[in-house]
Chains A and B, each alone.
Chain A
């Protein structure tokens, strides 16, 4: 069955430090992969997406993600975290039709 796993429920990083949020998926075909961010009281906002081609994708707000088929992973990275990046991050896979499967989310805390 298709699934998305985000192993880290929450992560704390210092402002200015680098960030990597992990995502593993289970899907038989080539997936469409996404990262969304949800700030408190806000809906989800799309950070970036991977459909095909270059496995390193750039998104908004300085985020990037790398698709690794051999590891079934799509980890999100940012070289230098800002306090405003504190939010919840969701990895998702689109399996065709209209269904998008979301991971349980990783809450990012940023300390000064």
Chain B
């Protein structure tokens, strides 16, 4: 019955290093989203997974960003060769399966990972 969890809650890294962020969705939620929230800005969509379908990666800002999801469980977002502009809060959300084009299932958000690149 737990909500979406993310780890670590905070990550400080040096420019050029790789980082890996983890998201544990709500059990039974087949859809999973990653967002980036820069200071003073809204949420920026990064990537979407639904079930076994190919993920939509159209929001990833560069090829330094990648994400994987094992089945309908944990997802990891990897940022390679981090840059200072990658500093942000990375939010994960999960929802039930979307069954129609305009159908909507509420997204449940994790607390986020605050990434600081020095």
Contacts and interface: CB of A to CB of B under 8 A. Distances in A.
Interface of A: 4, 9, 32, 36, 41-46, 49, 51, 90, 92, 94, 96-105
Contacts of B110: 43
B101 A51 contact: no
Nearest to A38: B109
A36 B106 CA distance: 11
B104 A94 contact: yes
A98 B42 contact: no
A97 B41 contact: no
Given A43-B91, A43-B111, A44-B91, A96 B101 contact: yes
A36 B107 CA distance: 11
B32 to A, nearest CB: 11
Contacts of B50: 98
Given A46-B107, A99-B45, A104-B41, 11 more contacts: A42-B111, A43-B91, A43-B93, A44-B107, A46-B106, A49-B106, A94-B104, A98-B33, A101-B42, A103-B42, A105-B40
Contacts of A51: 104
A100 B45 CA distance: 8
Given A32-B104, A98-B48, A43 B42 contact: no
Contacts of B33: 98
Nearest to A96: B102
Contacts of B106: 46, 49
Contact of B40 (A43, A94, A104): A104
Given A43-B112, A51-B104, A103-B42, A98 B31 contact: yes
Interface in B6-63: 9, 31, 33, 40-43, 45, 48, 50, 56
A97 to B, nearest CB: 7
B48 A45 contact: no
A99 B90 CA distance: 17
21 contacts: A4-B42, A41-B111, A43-B3, A43-B4, A43-B108, A44-B107, A45-B109, A92-B43, A94-B104, A96-B101, A96-B102, A98-B31, A98-B48, A98-B56, A98-B98, A99-B45, A100-B107, A102-B43, A104-B41, A104-B42, A105-B41
